[in-house]
Amino acid sequence: MIITNSNNSNEKLFHKKLSEEEYTDLSKLLKKDEVQELIKLNYIVPSWVHTETNKTDGSNNFLLTQLRPTVLTYSYEWSLNMLKDAALCMLATVKKCLSFNLIINSNDVDSILYLNGKMQFSNLLAITEQTPNNQWPGYQDFLKGFLFPLLLSSITGIEVHVWLQSYNKGVPYVDINKLLKNNKEFKSMKNMLNLPDAENYKAEISLSTQHNIDQVIDMLTDIITSLEPNYSKQELHWNAYQKNNDYLTNDVKLKEKFLLEGVKRLQPKKIIDLGSNTGHYSRFLCNEVSHVVAVDSVSSCIDDLYCSLRTSNYLNKITPVVCNILSPSPSKGFNLLEYEDFFLRLNTDFFVVLAVMHHLTIPANISFEQFVVLLKKLGSGGVVEWISPDEDMSKEELSKPKNRHKIYDWDQFLSLVTVHFELIDSLTLHGGSRILCLLGEKK
């Protein structure tokens, strides 16, 4: 897959090489008014096909070109409501295609992209004319990639991204049977969908010609719509952090002013808000730049942010990502090429790292040197917040026996950070226990 910029400098394009047969099929598909209508309605990613002449031998290269998200994210970096919306998009697209006498042969979770604030279907090569014998070939893909992880997460409280990180393409039926064999909700769903007995391990999950596919889609839509997150009190504690922290109102205003002036001074294009919580500062800054990537390890916080974006003017300005920076998504899949490393996809040039450093450098035992290297990966400049060792959380962690030799000192941090960055400005807040640092590229 080749990636290039489009005419709009904020957008990038996927280019996929096609065979001549694929090119012919997609040309016919994209000429259909119904397919163009699905693109306009944001069910399908904007797509077109074209040819390029090979300068070496004069032969034609056939290409499928599609809009690429500003920041590409995968299903294992989504919150529950993000995956729900992806599932509902898939179901709606399948149903729309059926009404046009088309069928989607593959419905795996990788067929959906989070693009411009919407979940959209991208695997156009999977769309073909419907025949009596292929009612819904992608039915099993859909259950594995969408319904099963959503159901597991809603019932067990283990986040959807954990299931999808573990299973990649989706949770196999044999495993969900093991995990939920005694659960009444799961048993009821199995009956509704006529899924095979757990003991019959050779049984294939498929729709027979006797099934009414529209009814099955409606049933799945109702099941998925009804599923709710099952977050713990510990997770939900962080959702209220922005409202319940002990910052003085004036400190918040000063922090916002410092951030805004820093962005205007350095004029970045794309910001990463690491430890974004529910996105207060992501929303505050997003109109100053082309895009903000809001990253937090707490799925419930990203869920809150995502749900708030649905009805806001920031829908295509912020990309929410569930990611623990201590274990960011690596390159993975066949030959490590199917899924890109988290940092390769970022391409941010400014970082906002507020109230994060002490969580990494004390309990996680990340050194100041390692932390500064992380900042360099995130951008050539940005704002980082120093938390004093006298603050409650820092003091509690530093008092633990395992941290008794830990050096957590402002002067040491400053000496290391200024090796890689220029300290442009600073602001002391919270009675002297917090310092905001505006860092720029080292000259």
**355: Cα separation from own chain's centroid:** 22
Greatest alpha-carbon pair distance for the chain in Å reads 73
Distance CA 180, CA 137 (A): 25
- pLDDT range class, residue 9, cuts 50, 70, 90: very low
93 close to 45: Cβ distance less than 8 angstroms: no
**Across 23-44, average pLDDT:** 95
Q: Considering only residues 204 and 108, tell me which one the structure prediction assigns the higher pLDDT.
A: 108
**pLDDT at residue 120, rounded to an integer:** 97
- Whether the pLDDT of residue 4 is over 80: the answer is no
> Strand 421-429's sheet: what is its strand order?
318-322, 291-296, 270-274, 350-353, 382-387, 434-441, 421-429
Split at pLDDT 50, 70, 90, the class of 201 is: low
Q: What is the DSSP letter of 76?
A: G
- Res 209: pLDDT: 61
Q: Average pLDDT, whole number, for the chain?
A: 89
Element (H, E) at 52: strand 47-53
- Mean pLDDT in residue range 190-214: 74
Per-residue pLDDT tens for 63-113?
999 999 999 999 999 999 999 999 999 999 999 999 999 999 999 999 999
pLDDT digits (tens, 9 = 90+) for 111-168: 999 999 999 999 999 999 988 776 788 999 999 999 999 999 999 999 888 888 888 7
Mean pLDDT of the region 32-47: 95
pLDDT over 70 (residue 5): no
Helix 213-226, helix 184-193: angle, nearest 10: 160
pLDDT for the residue 232:
79
pLDDT-derived band at 208, boundaries 50, 70, 90: low
| C-alpha distances out from residue 387 to 249, 354, 369, 425, Å | 18, 9, 17, 17
- The answer to whether residue 55 scores a pLDDT higher than 50 is yes
pLDDT, tens only, 282-329: 999 999 999 999 999 999 999 999 999 988 888 899 999 999 999 999
Please give the CATH number for the structural domain made up of 2-226.
1.10.510
Instruction: Give per-residue pLDDT as tens, 228-263.
Output: 998 877 777 767 666 655 566 788 899 999 999 999
Rounded to whole angstroms, what are the CA distances from 182 to 159, 199, 369? 20, 14, 49
Q: What is the pLDDT of residue 258?
A: 97
pLDDT at position 3, please?
40
Q: At the topology level of CATH, where does 235-441 sit?
A: Rossmann fold (3.40.50)
pLDDT at 395: 81
Distance CA 370, CA 373 (A): 5
- What value does the mean pLDDT take over residues 200-204? 63
Residues 214-225, mean pLDDT to the nearest whole number = 94
Distance of CA 175 to the CA centre of its chain: 25
Task: Give residue 241's pLDDT.
Answer: 66
* HSE value, Cβ hemisphere, 13 Å, CA-based, for 253: 3
Give the Cα separation of 43 and 161 in Å (integer). 23
Q: How far apart are CA 137 and CA 110, in angstroms?
A: 16
Q: What is the domain partition of the chain in residue ranges? A: 2-226, 235-441
The 10s digit of each residue's pLDDT in 332-383 is 988 998 899 999 999 999 999 999 999 899 888 899 999 999 999 999 999 9
